[in-house]
Amino acid sequence: MNKEIQLIKERILLRPYCLDDVECLYEAAHESVVEVQKWLPWCHANYSRQESETWLKSCDEAWAKGTAYEFAILDTKTGLYLGGCGLNHIDPTYKMANLGYWVRSSRTSEEVATTATILLVHFGFRELKLNRIEIVAATGNKASQRVAEKAGAKREGILRNRLTINDRVLDAVMFSLIPQDFPRS
């Protein structure tokens, strides 16, 4: 898969992460700890530049193996790093993947995550030939659920004890998308 790919819609650009993203990832994570740490355990008060670098290196390895495709979300006008999204937990047998997203706190409520999700869904169906994309959100994570719904995902139900976040076992809402939901993909 070509790492030069860029997915663009209006003011949102998705491009594969690179090692040059260490500082912007670190800065956005620190800005967002209070909101994000409740739902994504990697984002915590002591999050370090080294953690950014280690994760970015793992993104390169996963991309090369075809096990995950992680993207930086950027503002097309300013180049500002807005957050991240990706297709991961890819199951090549069943052609399924998990879709995840997060947006820095100062840029939430701007449809960034919804636009990024739609771009990523099209990529998953068109380029990766997936049959199913899942979005799993903790039942208490209403913002993430709204993004899934706005992106056209279908709510399938509650999965009991599906997530463990910061030593808390949580129920989650399962959303799915299939190619028929996006006939232009």
Per-chain mean pLDDT for the chain: 94
Predicted confidence at residue 109, as pLDDT, reads: 85
- Contact indicator for 70, 59 with CB cutoff of 8 Å: yes
Buried b (16+ CB within 10 A) or exposed e, 100-139: bbbbbeebbeebbbbbbbbbbbebbbeebebeebbbbbbe
Confidence class of residue 182 from pLDDT cuts 50, 70 and 90? confident
Confidence class of residue 175 from pLDDT cuts 50, 70 and 90? very high
Taking CA atoms, 4 is separated from 14, 18, 22, 71, 155, in Å, by 11, 11, 18, 11, 33
Confidence class of residue 3 from pLDDT cuts 50, 70 and 90? confident
For the chain, list the domains and their CATH numbers. Answer: 7-181 (3.40.630.30)
pLDDT digits (tens, 9 = 90+) for 39-49: 998 998 999 99
